[in-house]
Amino acid sequence: MSGERRDVVIVGGGHNALVAATYLARAGLDVVVLERLDHVGGAAVSERPFDGFDARLSRFSYLVSLMPDELIADLGLRLELRSRPTASYTPYEGGGLLIETDEGEATRSSFRDLTGSDAEHEAWSAFYDDVARLARVVAPTLLHPLPHIADVRDHLDMTTWNDLVDEPIGAAIERRFSHDVVRGVVGTDALIGTFASLHDRSGVQNRCFLYHLVGNGTGEWRVPVGGMGAVTAELERVAREAGAQIRTGHTVDRIEVSADAMTVSGDGFELSAGHVLSGVAPYVLAGMLGGRRPARPSGAQLKVNLLVSRLPALKSGDDPAVAFAGTFHVNEAMSQLEEVHEAATRGSAPYASGELYCHTLTDRSILGPDLAETEAQTLTYFGLHTPYENLVDEGSGDEAYQQFLAALNEHLAEPIEPLILGVEHKTPAQVEAALAMPGGHIFHGDLAWPWLEEGERPHSPAERWGVATSHPRVMICGSGARRGGAVSGIAGHNAAHALLETLG
């Protein structure tokens, strides 16, 4: 054991921890990051999972929206986030609903083909104008202390507030759209990383929806050139350059609290620190502190990574290079989302429901030169409503994968199987095992509104920034912080700023 003492020990080396470490080290603090794996980045990493193929896939998280451009500039990250020409494509019997990132005539006529008129596209435009208004109010607050709910609400009309915040979002979707497929395309953003009905009274799906639509005030999901590993590599570079120490292979078991210092220990190491930042889930942190644990989070997604020899042809006859360039919805009409959710609550799965996208249509740099010259493409699938508890038995992940293949094949002019060069899939339990995300919950726990609720009065910098724990010397710098969910760096930035404010 060493008697080493640091200003700040950061537990867990996810991307958020690296952001926090950079800010604190730049402020002159002596910072060490302890990561259990042999590499940093947590769920923001790239791997070569397929033997014999030089394809470096974003293994878990894959698109970036919530990382503020301001943060990227402030940290000096050499990062390219590239727009996808297609926002989404939803195949249906006899066609496909195409929504371009910059909506034009192709989008309008696609709505017309599906619904028979322009009314649904007009409803779409009006709805997303309202969403954009909320996004433009929320986005500039994310790197500052939490705004009060009234500071956000007062900028919006009551209809927008009611539809997006007060009422379960399923009600607004049903009121404002009439077509099941369109309703589903809107609704999926409320369900990525959240197991809920669109009508859930808790509003957890509304919070998820908000996080998916506020990034940089536009809600656009962009492709990190080089894959997610490139994001982490840049964060690691700036953290090291700032002087932060990073120690991999260090699993923290225990954090002991005394009046003026903390002791952080694991197998073969012990460090004391003035402050601890936690980049691990609040549930994991509570175990380290020996306190009462919050409810155990439970994730509900199936992640599949594929390398295919070429894109499959679509039954609709549409160009697969257009359809797969954006979010390709599979069985995500609203009625299907609700049916699959309802079945999953009873432990069953009638069919797969989720979304796919092809990284290599936007960025081929993740393929080695030989593979890049072929027609090979990567496909990544994020399956919804596959709760942890339903997929713990051996073979249940394989079954869910087979269901995904069957669901995808429904929309293809040829089966996908002969095109597959490499495949890996992960249930929530497998995500948990790989990343120590409890329950495989991709956000470390359910998301919270990014503002102070009525009657909430923060008393400390940590509470003002939404990074507080029950102990004043421990702050959350990971996804479990208020405003922490997703690959954003926001939690890391905010915890660092709360700590610097605390230290005066």
Among 8, 9, 10, 11, indicate the residue that binds ligand FAD (CB under 6 A).
11
> Helices in 76-118 by DSSP H: which ranges?
105-115
Strands 327-330 and 262-266, sheet pairing: unpaired
Strands 269-278 and 4-11, sheet pairing: parallel
Among 203, 226, 229, 279, indicate the residue that binds ligand FAD (CB under 6 A).
279
Mask of contacts with ligand FAD, 233-272, x by CB under 6 A? ------------------xx--------------------
Rule CB under 6 A: is residue 422 a binding residue for ligand FAD?
Answer: no
Identify whether the C-beta of residue 146 lies closer than 8 Å to the C-beta of residue 451. yes
| Closest to 337 in 3D by CA, of 220, 345, 219, 94 | 345
Please identify, among the stretches 56-64, 90-98, 138-146, 194-202, the one whose residues bind ligand FAD according to the rule CB under 6 A.
56-64
Residue carrying structure tokens 């470390």: 444
Identify whether the C-beta of residue 246 lies closer than 8 Å to the C-beta of residue 13. yes
CB of 92 to ligand FAD, least distance (A): 25
Q: Quick one: three-class SS letters along 240-297?
A: HHHCCEEECCCCEEEEEECCCCEEEEECCEEEEEEEEEECCCHHHHHHHHCCCCCCCC
Mask of contacts with ligand FAD, 350-369, x by CB under 6 A? --------------------
Rule CB under 6 A: is residue 35 a binding residue for ligand FAD?
Answer: yes
The two structure tokens encoding residue 312: 């499959």
Among 37, 132, 423, 503, indicate the residue that binds ligand FAD (CB under 6 A).
37
Among 181, 325, 486, 499, indicate the residue that binds ligand FAD (CB under 6 A).
486
Rule CB under 6 A: is residue 15 a binding residue for ligand FAD?
Answer: yes
CB atoms within 10 A of CB 133: 15
- Enumerate residues 6+ apart whose C-beta is below 8 A from 18: 33, 40, 41, 232, 235, 236, 238, 239, 244, 246, 492
Rule CB under 6 A: is residue 209 a binding residue for ligand FAD?
Answer: no
CB of 72 to ligand FAD, least distance (A): 14
Rule CB under 6 A: is residue 43 a binding residue for ligand FAD?
Answer: yes
CB of 311 to ligand FAD, least distance (A): 20
Among 20, 24, 63, 325, indicate the residue that binds ligand FAD (CB under 6 A).
63
Rule CB under 6 A: is residue 61 a binding residue for ligand FAD?
Answer: yes
Residues found near ligand FAD in the complex (CB under 6 A): 11-17, 34-37, 42-44, 60-64, 66, 251-252, 279-280, 284, 301, 303, 431, 435-437, 442-443, 478-479, 485-487, 491
